[in-house]
A and B are shown apart, each in its own frame.
Chain A
């Protein structure tokens, strides 16, 4: 998953210090894997370089951790594009999808749209697999079925999440 896009998304709600960003990321997405501080620093410099963020102000005391970052217009567009692009259907997508949904909720974008387009992408893949299955031999069918069942599991998760969007929005807003 893209830490850059995630941090950018977090900045959309307002300028933050690097330390705040790390804390917000850990709280919302880090779970059992907190972000290393260095990762924040290097990511932010890359984003700065690409003009997706700008330094909003520097607290006295120096050091990168004192910089306050703000998202630029280009940055907002970048987040938008990232969110709107469905992930390539493959197993174990949930962490990326989850991040996207939460970010969408945080930035008051339509999270359901993300889920729907992701579903569409999954279905597109499933259709291809189904078609291959229809035309293929037993081995093809078995291989395709395995993929289909995995994709179906993703889709079920998408459905479930869609059904729980309101609840999730409340939790995220806290």
Chain B
């Protein structure tokens, strides 16, 4: 199967095993620019692995991933890292902010990695922190802010490079409903405003409800519900 027309990122027949565990077994995926796709499924179904493969963090055992017309398998680690630095953004459940750096330094970090000067990077970081309503935390360290605030800082960091794809792995997993709602609202608003595609891994329906479409992963196989119907 070729990449579906107009898709930004797509995957076909992905297989990945970790030792005896089969994480992916012929999974498929595709996403268009500006689209929010929820990846759902029970624990251990392989949805996180699918995200890791799509983001070029993990190399699948077989199958192909195409981003923007380029086959991911042909890229080496440095190229994939660069892709992640420049084109992708990431939000995880927890443990992602560097505890020693202040919030604004954390948000600026991806820009610094791409070589932007410190001043410039922190300036851009601050505008994103304003959009996510956490600009008052800039001097604080991650240990001093609440979970919801930390997660919004993380979203700001994920978006600071204006990525074309935002990967969010259980972004509200450690938050209560209200904070989760807020993070999702800010995240999807921000993504839509920059026309970024969002791959949203979650097991929560209320989080998935913020998506345009969902894909279900079960036993390493994926089902695109829209195309199935």
Interface of A is mostly: helix
A112 in contact with B218 given A123-B205, A123-B208, A148-B206 (CB within 8 Å): yes
B185 touches A134 (CB 8 A): yes
A123 touches B209 (CB 8 A): yes
Question: Please, how many angstroms separate the alpha-carbon atoms of A130 and B218 in the complex?
Answer: 25
Please indicate the chain B residues that have their CB under 8 angstroms from the CB of A123 in the complex.
Answer: 38, 205, 208-209, 214, 225
A159 in contact with B209 given A117-B225, A117-B228, A120-B214 (CB within 8 Å): no
**In B81-97, which residues have CB < 8 Å from any A CB?**
none
B210 touches A130 (CB 8 A): yes
Please indicate the chain B residues that have their CB under 8 angstroms from the CB of A163 in the complex.
Answer: 42
B225 touches A148 (CB 8 A): no
Please indicate the chain A residues that have their CB under 8 angstroms from the CB of B212 in the complex.
Answer: 127
Q: Which residue of A lies closest to B43 (CB)?
A: A163
A148 touches B209 (CB 8 A): yes
Please indicate the chain A residues that have their CB under 8 angstroms from the CB of B206 in the complex.
Answer: 126, 130, 148-149, 152
B205 touches A156 (CB 8 A): yes
Indicate whether B203 reaches chain A with its CB closer than 8 angstroms: yes
Chain A nearest CB: distance from B123 CB in Å? 30
**How many B residues touch A, CB cutoff 8 Å?**
21
Please indicate the chain A residues that have their CB under 8 angstroms from the CB of B218 in the complex.
Answer: 112, 162
Indicate whether B223 reaches chain A with its CB closer than 8 angstroms: yes
Question: Please, how many angstroms separate the alpha-carbon atoms of A159 and B40 in the complex?
Answer: 10
Question: Please, how many angstroms separate the alpha-carbon atoms of A160 and B204 in the complex?
Answer: 13
Indicate whether A101 reaches chain B with its CB closer than 8 angstroms: no
Q: Which residue of A lies closest to B44 (CB)?
A: A163
Contact partner of B216 (CB less than 8 A), chosen from A116, A127, A129, A151, is A116
Indicate whether B229 reaches chain A with its CB closer than 8 angstroms: yes
Please indicate the chain B residues that have their CB under 8 angstroms from the CB of A10 in the complex.
Answer: none
**In A117-174, which residues have CB < 8 Å from any B CB?**
117, 119-120, 122-123, 126-127, 129-130, 134, 148-149, 151-152, 155-156, 159, 162-163
Please indicate the chain A residues that have their CB under 8 angstroms from the CB of B211 in the complex.
Answer: 127
Chain A nearest CB: distance from B135 CB in Å? 23
Contact partner of A162 (CB less than 8 A), chosen from B42, B205, B208, is B42
Q: Which residue of B lies closest to A155 (CB)?
A: B205
Question: Please, how many angstroms separate the alpha-carbon atoms of A91 and B223 in the complex?
Answer: 25
Please indicate the chain A residues that have their CB under 8 angstroms from the CB of B205 in the complex.
Answer: 119, 122-123, 126, 151-152, 155-156
A127 touches B209 (CB 8 A): yes
A159 touches B225 (CB 8 A): no
Please indicate the chain B residues that have their CB under 8 angstroms from the CB of A134 in the complex.
Answer: 185
Known: A117-B225, A123-B208, A127-B211. 17 other contacts (CB 8 A): A116-B216, A116-B223, A116-B228, A117-B229, A119-B205, A119-B216, A120-B225, A120-B228, A123-B205, A123-B209, A123-B214, A126-B209, A127-B212, A130-B210, A148-B206, A149-B206, A152-B204
Q: Which positions in B face A, CB cutoff 8 Å?
A: 38, 40, 42, 185, 203-206, 208-212, 214, 216, 218, 223, 225-226, 228-229
| 24 A-B pairs with C-beta separation under 8 A | A116-B216, A117-B225, A117-B228, A119-B205, A119-B216, A119-B225, A120-B228, A123-B38, A123-B209, A123-B225, A126-B205, A126-B206, A126-B208, A126-B209, A127-B209, A127-B211, A127-B212, A130-B206, A130-B209, A130-B210, A148-B206, A152-B205, A159-B42, A162-B218
